Each structure stands twice: as C-alpha cells, then as structure tokens.
Structure 1
Amino acid sequence: MVKIINELKNRGVEDILIVSIDGLKGFSDAIHAVYPSAEIQSCIIHQIRNSTKCISYKDRKEFCNDLKNVYRAPTEEVALTELDNLEEKWGSKYEISIRSWRDNWDKLSAMFKIPKKLEN
C-alpha cells in the first residue's frame, strides 16, 4: 500500500489534508508513512451500514434520522451532544450500534477539523 501512496507523491501530490478510508488493514499506516500530517477519516457510509445492520427494520428509518444529527452536525461538540441524545433514546435497545460510534469516534470525527471555508 505504501507503494501506491508513494506513487501519488511521485505524481506531484505534495500533501493531503484528509483521507476517507474504509476498514482496510494497514491503509492508515501507509498514508501516514508518506503523508504524516494527513487526517484519517473512516468512511461514514461504512460506519452507518455497520451500525444499522442490527437495527430492527421497523426502527431503522427513525434511528437513521436521529443518527443524521450526529454526522451532519456543524461541530464536533454538537455531534457529541447528538450522540448523547441518540444514546438516551436508543441506547437501551441498540447499545452495540451506539457503542460502535463511541468506540470509533477518533476515526469518525476528523471531518470536524476541516475549516468551514474549505468545505464544498
């Protein structure tokens, strides 16, 4: 994998601000080997799929609507508050799904470090 990332550098990519990755083992290490200051962001879509696979079909739409408040929050502080709200509402029923967000938060929250003026 480092070879692939090195090829990006050889083709002129001087720096990377943020990289969204799936769960491929060793990918974040390969990126940091070549671009040590790059932020690693786990793919939100993969996280949503993983955390909703054990949600009952009858609850899935409502749970996902509540979950949107977490990953669409304007700041990390608001996102964490929304995660608390999600846990308060659904935690007793879907503890594993919410725990996966908490356990992976360091990999899911890099997107909140992007200054608003760089978005779009």
Structure 2
Amino acid sequence: MVHLIRNSLKFVSWKDRKSVVADLKPIYPAATVAKADSALTAFAERWDGIYPTISQTWLNHWENIIPLFDYPAPIRCIIYTTNAIEAVNRSLGKV
C-alpha cells in the first residue's frame, strides 16, 4: 500500500501533493470495500481531470487491494505500512 501511494504521488506537482494525499487517505483505511470504492470514486471525480493515472493505477491494482479489507483495522495497518518489516530487516542487518 505504501508503494502504491508513493507511485501515485510520483507525478503530482508539489502544490497539489497535500490535497492528493488527503483525498487518497479515506480509501485504504475504509471500514469496508464499499466505502473504499466510494472514496476512490470521489477521488477520481476530483482529480481525474489533472491526474487521471492515479485512479487508474488504483483500479488496476484493486483486486490486490480488496483482500486487505478482510482483516481488522489494526492488522491492516501493520500490513499496509512497512515499518515493522523494515525494523526487522534493520535489526537483522545490524547483527
């Protein structure tokens, strides 16, 4: 998920980044697939005129995103952030 967000922001101008991120945020922590889908639709309605590739990227990966909603919110947070994985890798690298 982190990589999808980073990829979404790759071609966004600096002046629009905060707004784009704020509009992407309701998608991935949504409680259900339906709410996430409506958040993605709202994002597409607002930003497809300027950045159409962002919503298309999310739609292309939607089948890979949907299984995240089978897990409770705390577990999803662990899955879609890489902090825990990077901490383990950092510890192993030190050893």
TM range, smaller chain: 0.7 to 0.9
TM-score by length of 1: 0.59
TM-score by length of 2: 0.74
For the aligned residue pairs, the C-alpha RMSD in angstroms reads 1.8
Who is 2:42 aligned against? 85
Paired letter, 1:88: E
Give the structure with the larger helix fraction: 2
Show structure 2 runs of 5+ residues with no match: 78-95
Q: 1:107 & 1:76 partners in 2: Cα distance? A: 12
| Cα deviation, residue 49, structure 1 | 0.5
**Larger Rg over CA atoms:** 1
State the number of aligned residues.
76
Higher relative contact order (CA 8 A, sep 6+): 2
The percentage of aligned residue pairs carrying the same residue is: 33
Q: 2:73 & 2:67 partners in 1: Cα distance? A: 16
Q: 1:117 & 1:86 partners in 2: Cα distance? A: 21
